[in-house]
Chain A
Amino acid sequence: MTNQNVVSVRDLTKTYGKKGEKQYQALKGISFDVAPGEFVGIMGASGSGKTTLLNLLSTLDQPTSGSVTINGTDVTQLSGDQLADFRAQTIGFIFQDFNLLETLTARENIALPLALQNVPSGRIAEDVDAIAQRLGITPILDSYPSAISGGQKQRVAAARALVHKPAILFGDEPTGALDSQSARELLETMKMLNTDQEVPILLVTHDPFSASYAQRILLIKDGVIGQEIKRGDRSREEFYRELLDVLGTFQN
């Protein structure tokens, strides 16, 4: 199989609470795939289980049952150093609250994933400069996070998530803390990365505008995939309108 799925999720469940105590089932059996180069959005209201799903996908949490395969590796079987290395090499993250290390400059922040893999410093400099140029943050590379705007911070975070060429990029409400202009710019950048570099993206959001950049949307409700919407050949604007319609009925 040459066209192996980047992400493959099978019968994933997650139950919080110990046995005998009050339990809460956040995910009740979820299965889906992400093909290479795909831009997939996961939407759902608060409490629908989308954050739980992302935590499982990104190996930050362990599922109760089911499997998550990323790039051919079953991540639920990883632990310790293997898990750390997998995160460092295969996954890129963008969080809502940027999660930049504020004691490091933008350049040092971006270089960190490469430094972790002991890439020679000459190549680190090249790679950092290249990704910075693509994301338009070259002028602020030597600034500290506290000295740059939210939009710039998120670009730095995106650069850090992508600099080591991960197999997949996870976004957890990356536009959540941004103004609309910065949000639009970031989403355009992500789309550009997705189409030009064929970086698969999995974006978790509750914002239909962000979601409209994806090619396919999975709507989660009460721990299961309630509906799947494909963009097909439509323009983003049309897709956005459809999403608004669907969400209007889906939430009830």
Chain B
Amino acid sequence: MLNKLALSGIKSRLRDYVVLFSGLVIGSAIFYMFMALATNDQFQKANSTVSVTPIIFGFGAVLLAIITFVYIIYANSFLLSLRQRDYALFMMLGAKSRKISRLIFTETLALGVGATLVGTAIGVGLTGGVSQLLRQMLDAPARHLVSLYWPAVLTTIIFFTVLFFLAALVNARKMRRTPVLELLHADTQPVIVQRRPVRELLLAILGIISLGVGYWAMKAINHLGINSIPIALVTIVLGSFLLVGAVVTSIVGALRRNHKFAQKNVRSFTLAQIGFRLHSYTAILAVVSILFALALGAITVGLNFYQETPTMTNALSTYDVVLHDPTTATQREADKLTGVTSKVTYDVKVDQSNNTAYFQADEVNAHPVLEVKANFTKRDVMQYSQYKADTAKENTVEYQNAFLTLTTMNIAGGSKLRFVDAQSYARAGGQVQKVVTYRVSDLRANIPVMKKIHEMEIKRYPQLMKRSAPDKYTMYTMMNGMNSGFAFMGFFLGLAFLAMLASTLMFKILSGAAADRARYRMLSRMGVRPKLLRNSIRTEIGVLFGVPAVLGVVHVLFGLQLFKALLINPYAGIWVPFAIFAVLYILYYVLTVWLYNGIVRPRE
């Protein structure tokens, strides 16, 4: 009978249960996605050139486990808040408390394990989908990544089952121990925040110092080595916690005491709500700010590695395509190149008998051959040396490299370069070779065409592959092989962390929404316009989303220092990942506002 009642209780609050269940599903799906990478050594080895990658994944796994734990606690308290009145009512009607606690134990465990199984399945699908998408978007092979990776499945299911088992125990115990009356009237009493200015000031200073140490540790990674990561993690978590607790709450308090500002519409209410929330959300907001920084940082770094591939490639190789005696087939492909900035044709005579290449001085002087001189300190600023027909330099290594590599000659040893006038050219022996050079503005967009041309060319001239300086396409695949692994991991983890942090925040807010319902009903009775109420909700949730976002952005700006050694300029083009991130984050905000509205202001 009780089981039946319990089930009908669930039915009547199906909407809330759907929210809860889908939240738990998201949690386990993301945990799986992370584990699919973190437990896969082969993938990590194949896709990163840095030996510390497994250690970083280790830190990440611990962090995610802690956050998931917190997340489950919130989801669990949301579940309890949904159920405790019903169960208290059953108890009042004479149901044995042992029976009730067994019911809630079963319910928690069943819901949790069910969500974990569904979540893991979805995680498998997401891993497949996201990695497929990223592979295409980032041109990343992401070798050895399999969507259904059994060690990850096992880790996820065991971890979550243990967590839910604990949560179920806690719930059952809580039901047994809390007096029935308290459960029936479980309207949360707001914590009244005492003003202690001196203490707050001290905490704020401590928080700033703590953050400073963390930021310094990231900047000083060269001295501290891998230690800088745990130092930064601990101090930044602590600093964020203190700062949210002391500074933000003080600001809200000060605004509230400024009657001129506060006594307008429902501002005093909104401020009070925010103050009340901040007080009980300090820990979660600090954690979310760290997650925010990790997610945004991962995407930023990932995108940076992605963007670095063409830059590095361009810095190492000058001409995007070099055609030799183009056939109709190769010419047809070359015509497909887009954004061609320069196309130069040279007629070169290659005399195999004396291993000499004859370039015509007039042609070379009209279109000097370029050789890139990379300047790694400034991104996107490429300098090129222009080589004209200077007979004095025919024997220098520079000139030989620049000119002879344009031909199909075997340049291994003793090859000679000669600049000659038109008559001497006509007299020289050997075969005429037409060399066409192309330069394009957007390397990445032309990669598919370049790949085809590359394949056709090496079929005709296999000796080209034996050169120490390969063609641009080969260079690109090498660079991409190095960078795309990082880009893939960055994006993959960034998206996963983002979904996780936003869900955590969303849950925490929604779990308190039931208690807010009475307040909004009261305001509505007092004659507050619906629009004002909606604005108040938007502001309140906006602040809760905004505080960790601002902190997180600052963390990232300092955290990018960590990557100075790995990237040319970690800060380049930073607005792109920030914009992507902002859009996704705002979507989560809108969703939370919508759900919260549905809970606190049911249609009358």
Q: Please indicate the chain A residues that have their CB under 8 angstroms from the CB of B276 in the complex.
A: 103
From B201-209, B257-265, B487-495, give the one contacting chain A.
B257-265
Interface segment among B2-10, B67-75, B215-223, B526-534: the answer is B526-534
A240 beta carbon closer than 8 Å to chain B: no
B525 within 8 A of A: yes
Residues 513 to 531 of chain B near chain A (Cβ within 8 Å): 519, 522-531
Once A112-B266, A118-B264, A118-B265 are accepted as A-B contacts, the answer to whether A91 and B272 lie under 8 Å apart by CB is no
Write out the residue numbers on chain A whose beta carbons fall within 8 Å of the beta carbon of B531.
81
List the A side residues contacting B256 at CB < 8 Å: 108
Q: Does B412 contact A (CB under 8 A)?
A: no
* Max chain B Cβ within 10 angstroms of own Cβ: one of A114, A116, A125: A116
Minimal Cβ-Cβ distance residue in B for A58: B525
Closest to B519 in A: A101
**Using Cβ atoms and an 8 Å threshold, which residues of chain B touch A60?**
525
Closest B residue to A98 by CB, please name it: B522
A57 vs B190: C-alpha distance when bound (angstroms): 32
Write 7 A-B pairs (CB below 8 A) sorted by A numbering: A84-B524, A84-B530, A85-B527, A86-B527, A99-B522, A99-B525, A144-B192
Looking at B260, B526, B529, the one whose CB has the most chain A CB atoms below 10 A away is B526
The answer on a CB contact under 8 Å between A101 and B530 is no
Interface residue from A89, A103, A111, A147 paired with B527 (Cβ < 8 Å): A89
Residue of B nearest to A92 (CB): B526
Most chain B CB atoms below 10 A, which of A81, A93, A103, A116? A103
**Residues on the B chain within 8 Å of A85, using CB:** 527, 529
Q: B-facing mask of A59-90, CB < 8 A → 1, else 0?
A: 01000000000000000000011001111110
Tell me the B residues contacting A by CB distance below 8 Å.
189-190, 192, 256, 259-260, 262-269, 272-273, 275-276, 519, 522-532
Inter-subunit contact A116/B526 (CB<8 Å): yes
Q: Are A115 and B265 in contact (CB under 8 A)?
A: yes
CB distance from B536 to the nearest CB of A (A): 12
Other A-B pairs, 14, CB within 8 Å; known A84-B528, A115-B266: A85-B527, A85-B529, A91-B527, A93-B525, A101-B269, A103-B273, A103-B275, A103-B276, A104-B272, A111-B263, A112-B526, A118-B265, A124-B259, A144-B190
> DSSP class of A's interface residues: helix, strand, loop or mixed?
helix
Q: Which residue of the partner chain B has the closest CB to A160?
A: B526
Pick from B260, B272, B519, B527: contact of A116, CB below 8 A: B527
Residue A237 is within 8 A (CB to CB) of chain B in the complex = no
Q: Is B190 in contact with A102, judged by CB distance below 8 angstroms? A: yes
B266 smallest CB distance to A (angstroms): 7
Nearest-Cβ distance from residue A83 to partner chain B, whole angstroms: 8
Q: A121 interface residue, CB < 8 Å from B?
A: yes
B269 touches A103 (CB 8 A): yes
The B interface, classified by DSSP as helix, strand, loop or mixed, is helix
Q: Is the beta-carbon distance between A146 and B192 smaller than 8 angstroms?
A: yes
Nearest CB in chain A: distance from B274 CB, A: 10
The reply to whether A88 and B527 contact each other, CB–CB distance below 8 Å, is yes
A-B contact count, CB below 8 Å?
88
Is A49 in the interface zone, CB < 8 Å from B? no
Write out the residue numbers on chain A whose beta carbons fall within 8 Å of the beta carbon of B264.
Answer: 115, 118, 121
Give every chain A residue within 8 A of B273 (Cβ-Cβ).
103
Residues 144-158 of chain A, each 1 if its beta carbon lies under 8 Å from chain B, else 0: 101100000000000
Cβ-defined contact, B528 with A104, below 8 A: no
Contacts of A125 in B (CB 8 A): 259
- Complex contact A116–B265 (CB within 8 A): yes
Give A125 Cβ to nearest chain B Cβ, in Å.
7
Determine if A174 is an interface residue (Cβ-Cβ < 8 Å).
no
In this assembly, does A113 line the interface, its C-beta being within 8 Å of a C-beta of chain B? yes
Given A81-B531, A84-B527, A146-B190: A112 in contact with B259 (beta carbons within 8 A)? no
Please judge, given known A-B contacts A115-B265, A121-B260, whether A103 and B525 are in contact too, CB under 8 Å. no
Q: Which residues of chain B have C-beta atoms less than 8 A from A116's C-beta?
A: 265-266, 526-528, 532
* A160 contact set on B, CB distance < 8 A: 526
CB contacts (< 8 Å) of A121 on chain B: these are 259-260, 263-264
- In the complex, are the beta carbons of B189 and A146 less than 8 A apart? yes
Q: How far is the CA of A84 from the CA of B525 in the complex (A)?
A: 8
Interchain CA distance A39-B112 in the complex, whole Å: 58
Q: Which residue of B lies closest to A60 (CB)?
A: B525
Contacts of A89 in B (CB 8 A): 527
